[in-house]
């Protein structure tokens, strides 16, 4: 446990020292969301109706940006081999990487989701449901992305394969996340959809870490 926390602190220190992952993800999230009113027109009713979908799609695409570098540098300079030889389970290494990715990317996206949703004229009554869905949803996206990054590690054109692998797996997250916000905007309970998102998180946590750990061991052979 202490080893994992030390590794997490190191990952966060390295990420915040450069700052490009957080800044790039946040700027992409906001700029991509701002393009939709320009493309479909500023009609408040239209924007408000599709705002949850816009926010979720932008969050998914923004979360994909730093994934190709998640294990790349450690794999190339031999750090990954040292971590695997240190006795830290491969699944724990993947868990630390997923946690660092969420703290550096997912949490900032959660913080700026409110201004983007307001800009898109989303009903204020739906904001709590949107944020409540983004919390577990972005964690699931980080877990899926970590597993995908581990699977394509060392592969030729892994940066191209990674989105093709992660995007289909993320579809249920988008469906339930958007449905929760839509339900709240129509004065319905978002609870069933939020519970399904929580169930996805409970399933993704062990499965993604086991899969990522196995992929890391294979890549290090």
Check: CB of residue 28 under 8 Å from CB of residue 108: no
Contacts with 17 (C-beta within 8 Å, 6 or more apart), sequence order: none
6-44 per-position pLDDT tens digit = 888 887 887 777 667 788 899 999 999 999 888 887 777
> Is residue 191's pLDDT more than 70?
yes
Rounded Cα gap, residues 194 and 132, in angstroms: 7
Contacts with 174 (C-beta within 8 Å, 6 or more apart), sequence order: 53, 56, 57, 60
Check: CB of residue 40 under 8 Å from CB of residue 114: no
Quick one: how far is CA 61 from the chain centroid? 8
Rounded Cα gap, residues 58 and 83, in angstroms: 33
**Average pLDDT score, the chain:** 89
pLDDT of residue 9: 84
131-172 per-position pLDDT tens digit = 999 999 999 999 999 999 999 887 777 678 899 999 999 999
pLDDT of residue 19: 67
- Give the 3-state DSSP-derived string for the chain, with helices as H, strands as E and coil as C: CHHHHHHHHHHHHHHHHHCHHHHHHHHHHHHHHHHHHHHHCCCHHHHHHHHHHHHHHHHHHHHHCCHHHCCHHHHHHCHHHHHHHCCCCHHHHHHHHHHHHHHHHHHHHHHHHHHHHHHCCCCHHHHHHHHHHHHHHHHHHHHHHHHHHHHCCCCCCHHHHHHHHHHHHHHHHHHHHHHHHHHHHCCCCCHHHHHHHHHHHHHHHHHHHHHHHHHHHHHHC
How many other C-beta atoms are found inside a 10 Å radius of the C-beta of residue 205?
15
Question: Of the given ranges (66-80, 130-144, 207-221), which has the lowest mean pLDDT?
Answer: 66-80
pLDDT tier, 212 (very low <50, low <70, confident <90, very high otherwise): very high
pLDDT of residue 199: 98
Question: Which domain does 59 fall in, by range?
Answer: 2-220
> Is residue 70's pLDDT more than 90?
no
pLDDT of residue 17: 74
Q: Who has greater pLDDT, 218 or 174?
A: 174
> Is residue 5's pLDDT more than 70?
yes
pTM metric for this prediction: 0.93
Q: Could you give the number of structural domains in the chain? A: 1
> Is residue 76's pLDDT more than 90?
no
pLDDT of residue 83: 83
82-98 per-position pLDDT tens digit = 888 888 898 999 999 99
């Amino acid at each position: 446990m202490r080893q994992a926390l030390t590794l997490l602190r190191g990952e966060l220190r390295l990420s915040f020292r450069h700052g490009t992952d957080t800044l790039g993800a946040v700027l992409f999230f906001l700029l991509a969301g701002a393009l939709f009113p320009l493309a479909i027109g500023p009609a408040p009713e239209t924007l408000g109706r599709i705002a949850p979908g816009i926010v979720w799609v932008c969050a998914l695409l923004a979360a994909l940006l730093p994934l190709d570098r998640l294990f790349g540098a450690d794999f190339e300079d031999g750090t990954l081999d040292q971590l695997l030889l240190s006795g830290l389970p491969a699944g724990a290494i993947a868990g630390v990487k997923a946690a660092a990715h969420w703290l550096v990317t997912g949490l900032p996206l959660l913080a700026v989701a409110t201004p983007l949703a307001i800009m898109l004229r989303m009903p204020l009554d739906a904001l709590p449901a949107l944020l409540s869905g983004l919390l577990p949803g972005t964690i699931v996206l980080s877990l899926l992305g970590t597993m995908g990054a581990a699977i394509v590690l060392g592969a030729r054109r892994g940066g191209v394969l990674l989105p093709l692998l992660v995007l289909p797996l993320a579809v249920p997250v988008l469906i339930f996340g958007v449905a929760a916000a839509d339900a709240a905007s129509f004065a319905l309970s978002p609870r069933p959809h939020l519970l399904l998102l929580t169930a996805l998180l409970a399933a993704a946590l062990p499965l993604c870490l086991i899969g990522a750990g196995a992929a890391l061991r294979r890549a290090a052979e």
